[in-house]
Copies of this chain bind each other. A is one copy, B any other.
Amino acid sequence: MDIIVLKPEATNEEIRHVLKKLEGLGLKANLSKGTERTIIGVIGDTSKVTEDVENSIRAASGVETVMRILKPYKLASRDFKKTPTVIKVKGEVIGGKRICVMAGPCSVENRAMLLDIAKQVKKGGANFLRGGAFKPRTSPYSFQGLGEEGLKYLAHASVKTGLPVVTEIMDPRDMECIEEFTDIIQIGARNMQNFRLLLEVGLSKKPVLLKRGLSATIKEWLMSAEYIMSRGNLDVILCERGIRTFETATRNTLDLSAVPVLKQLTHLPVVVDPSHGVGVLAHVPSMAKAAVAAGADGLMIEVHSNPEEALSDGEQSLRPEAFKKLMKELTAVAAAVGREI
């Protein structure tokens, strides 16, 4: 149900016009005439009322504002599905009691390096191998990733270690190739509202890890999940990775309160990426532990065997030994909040 607030000076004719519009949409109205404002409570299934219709009512003369109470997303909402969504990928589970850890380098640089890191994170306790073959870079002059070659290295490391792979898609034209080599398709923060790409992965049979946009509200983020789900792919994993604020001591501000908020609004699993979230190596372990304590279902962590030689984001990658140490600490925190890792 939506609420329509009329202007103090709204005429009866204007009110009637709005009521007629609602009637035309098969909705009923409950008029509350107050001393200062008249309010229309809209009764009926307003979930079918699109943003556009809402805007047209907002633009009608005599209308001051329109407030939507029902959430604009359906498939992604807790109301639609009460039980948490559990996603299974090659024996690994996302959204269950066990917290899943996705670890690996920011970008795939070469076959040997990748395999080495994969083996090490596997030994450290990771459940998934992460690594970018297609890299969104702020500068056109930066390393843009190995492309298909990188995907093959990921598949190779996956076979050798048994770790399923998460990698990013940047272009709908790469869909076929990405689908062939990866287990989870990642949508990066900068593409969270690349709606065509969302529709594309919505047709895939592979789960999608959807990163939060740098300035996306939680509602917009869930609407992007809805885009994917509306095409039939219900296996969406939400990944908080920091939002843009005025603070410059960290690269982004990791919004950990998004974890409990999402747990209330949606049934989808929630993963946290502290590496991009803070962008400062020294603070990654603290924030990884905080994420688990806040109730995250998983973590995505950058690990590199030689951060100084990394072709991207070296300054925020843990070395394998530090990763192993962190995993031990995380085990204790997970147990403290009734989870496993």
Contacts and interface: CB of A to CB of B under 8 A. Distances in A.
Contacts of A173: 172-173
Given A32-B32, A260-B282, 9 more contacts: A55-B312, A55-B313, A59-B307, A73-B139, A136-B193, A213-B215, A214-B215, A261-B283, A286-B294
Given A246-B217, A295-B286, A3 B39 contact: yes
Interface stretch (A88-96, A157-165, A222-230): A222-230
Interface string A179-200: 0000000000011011110010
A215 B244 contact: yes
Interface residues of A, number: 113
A267 interface: no
Contacts of A8: 79
Most B-side CB within 10 Å, residue of A42, A51, A248: A51
A124 to B, nearest CB: 18
Nearest to A218: B249
B253 A137 contact: no
Given A43-B35, A72-B139, A244-B215, A277 B257 contact: yes
24 contacts: A30-B41, A32-B32, A32-B43, A33-B43, A34-B44, A50-B141, A51-B142, A59-B281, A136-B193, A139-B223, A141-B230, A170-B195, A173-B173, A191-B194, A243-B247, A243-B253, A245-B253, A247-B255, A253-B253, A254-B256, A257-B286, A289-B294, A289-B336, A290-B290
